[in-house]
Structures are given as structure tokens and as C-alpha cells.
Amino acid sequence: MSDFVSGFWSPYITLVVLAGVVGCGVFLWQQGRAGNKPGETMGHVWDETLEEFNNPMPNWWRWLFYITIVFGLGYFALYPGLGSYAGKLGWTSGGQHEKEVADADAAYGKIFNGYLQQDLKTVAADARAKEMGEHLFLTYCAQCHGSDAKGAKGYPNLTDNDWLWGGEPEQIKATIMGGRIGVMPPFAQLGAEAIKDIAHYVRSLSGLAADSLRVTRGKEGYAAAGCVACHGADGRGNQAMGAPNLTDKIWLFGSREETIIETITKGRNIQMPAQKDFLGEAKVHLLAAYVYGLGAGAKPAPATTDKK
């Protein structure tokens, strides 16, 4: 009801709901009237002998419907459903959610906090923590990065060793906690030919097929357009800025000539949402350890014990 600020809507909805319930009751009552005579034909005949008779619904069926009407009225008295009326029990979906969250925190909070006190590499090597981290990942991260964590166009693959903002445990945790915003500014002002030259130069950096003449011109354009400020003179990127390495064979949006031209022309704007306030540090700690175990440069050491 929060979207309906006018005082008109609450009584209107209440009236519509109650009218529907009463209407059902009236309809059932009419079905049991003496005027409905079993065996009386309604005058409709199909296929020579198939007739429609005026037979009321069986009493047991009608009484089941009466019971549901009584149940519905009792429900509306106890729970919200009649406009702005909150119900005798004062139940709300928000309150129910808060209760479930509180119950979950009471049941699992000690476990999460226990791992929070441990080093991320230690947590990443723990089999039980890995299982918990996987559940968290599938619930909150798989929508973008995929259930296998291999990402998609515009969403990084977390199973390789290529990291825009760094793949060390604390760097991954910082990314999940605070989120990241990556911006590639548009360079449409350079013109189509200059952009195509730079695209060929960028393709050549990772060993892809490129026109040699365009590569030569594109190298000059790459420096003149200021690409070196983010990606470096050697094209190896800058993790402090989230600028991709252009010399490897990993492409977030694709390595086709037309795709690179589109990226340079229109720019890119991607965002990793912050999870600190939503999940809390303890859950983020588990998630960071799980993601680190998927594809960071240095793999976590095997666990010597398995916590139960």
C-alpha cells in the first residue's frame, strides 16, 4: 500500500475484497436453492442425446467452499489483506524476513565469525569453508559470473589468473567489500580511421592478426590519444586503476576487430556492486577465500585437517 498515498485506496481495496468474498457466498447459496430441481432439463441438447440438466452442485462440495470463505474471513482478520489494515497479529513480510535473518545469524554467526579471524589463504584451504563459500557464490555471484565462475561478456572469468584489480586475497576481498567501477572513456572524436588503426595495434599486442600498416599508425595513435595513461606504454595495464592488460589473450568484451573498435569509440562502463553492507564482512571473507581458490595466481596450500 506504500505506493498508494491517497486515502481513497484503502477503503476501495477493502470493499472490492469483501465484495468478492460475499459474492462467492451468495453464488453458493443460490446453487442450493429449492428452485434448482435435479433432473430438470435446461433445453440444451448436443449430439442428439447429450442434454444439460439443472443439477445443483453436491452439498459436500458447496460446504467445502463455505469453509474456505470462513477461512478467508478469518485470515483477513488476522493478517494484512484489507487495504491498510495490518491484521490482529501485526504480521509483515519485512518482519518475517528480519526474524529469519536473526535466526540464521544466531545459528551460523559463530561459524562465519570463526573464519573471519583466520587468514584468507587458510580459509581458502579449508574444505568446509570452501563448501560454504561455494553456496554463497551460487546465491549472490553466479547471476553475473556464472555458476562455474567463468564469467560472460562483460563479466570477468574468476577461474583464470587474470585480475583487473589484483588477485591477491586482500585485493579480492576489497573488491567484494567495496565494489569496483571500471570506466573506459569514449574516443569517437579520434575519427573512424584512427580508431581502426588503434584497434589493429591493440590486436597485435596479444598476437592477433592485424594489418601491419595500421599497426604502425595505431601505435602512434595509441600514445597520442592518451591510452598509455591507463594501459601503460607496453599495454600491460594497471591493476591500481582496473585497466586491463592488452597483451594477454583474455578479453572482457571480445577481441574481434569490430568489438575493439566499438569499445574505443563508445567506451565501456562496468560496475561490481559493493557487498559490505548487504552480506557483512564475515560472509565476504568466505566469498573472497572461495574466489581466491578458484583462480588467483598463487593457489592456496592443501588443507592438513578438515574441520567438521
pLDDT digits over 8-57, tens only?
A: 888 999 999 999 999 999 988 887 765 666 667 777 888 888 888 877 77
Q: What digits encode the pLDDT tens for the residues 142-156?
A: 999 999 999 999 999
Instruction: Note the maximum CA span of the chain.
Output: 97
Q: What does the buried/exposed string (b/e) look like for 19-50 if buried means 16 or more CB atoms within 10 Å of the residue's CB?
A: eeeeeeeeebeeeeeeeeeeeeeeeeeeeeee
- Per DSSP, the three-state class of 306 is coil
Mean pLDDT score, 132-138 = 96
Q: Which residue has the higher pLDDT, 56 or 187?
A: 187
pLDDT of residue 298: 44
- Nine-digit cell at 198? 588503434
Alpha helices in the chain (DSSP H): 9-31, 59-78, 93-116, 120-124, 127-140, 142-145, 169-178, 192-205, 212-224, 228-231, 257-266, 276-279, 281-295
| C-alpha count within 13 angstroms, C-beta hemisphere, residue 93 | 2
Strand partners, 272: 180
pLDDT of residue 307: 38
How many CB atoms within 10 Å of residue 154? 12
What would the CATH number be for the domain defined by 184-270?
A: 1.10.760.10
Task: Say if residue 299's pLDDT is above 70.
Answer: no
Measured distance CA(241)–CA(229) in Å, rounded: 10
**Mean pLDDT of the residues in the chain:** 89
Please name the residue that has the C-alpha cell 554463497.
136
Mean pLDDT score, 77-89 = 91
Where are the domain boundaries for CATH 1.10.760.10 in the chain? 114-179+273-295, 184-270
Q: How confident is the model at residue 297 (pLDDT cuts 50, 70, 90)?
A: very low
pTM above 0.85, yes or no: no
Q: How confident is the model at residue 306 (pLDDT cuts 50, 70, 90)?
A: very low
pLDDT of residue 290: 96
The DSSP code for 152 is B
Lowest mean pLDDT: which of 12-21, 98-107, 127-136, 173-182?
Answer: 98-107
Q: How confident is the model at residue 3 (pLDDT cuts 50, 70, 90)?
A: low
Measured distance CA(29)–CA(7) in Å, rounded: 34
Task: Say if residue 301's pLDDT is above 80.
Answer: no
**Alpha-carbon dihedral of residues 291, 295, 299, 303, nearest 10 degrees?**
40
How many CB atoms within 10 Å of residue 133? 26
Q: How confident is the model at residue 107 (pLDDT cuts 50, 70, 90)?
A: confident
Strand partners, 152: 155
The secondary structure element, H or E, covering residue 168 is none
Measured distance CA(161)–CA(102) in Å, rounded: 38
Tell me the CATH architecture of domain 114-179+273-295: Orthogonal Bundle (1.10)
Amino acid 133 reads G
Lowest mean pLDDT: which of 45-59, 185-199, 277-291?
Answer: 45-59
pLDDT of residue 37: 65
pLDDT of residue 62: 86
Mean pLDDT score, 49-72 = 86
| 180, 242 Cβ separation under 8 angstroms | yes
Question: With pLDDT > 70 as the criterion, what percentage of the chain qualifies?
Answer: 92
Backbone angles phi, psi at 64, to 5 degrees: -60, -40
Task: Say if residue 261's pLDDT is above 70.
Answer: yes
pLDDT of residue 167: 92
How many CB atoms within 10 Å of residue 279? 19
pLDDT of residue 49: 80
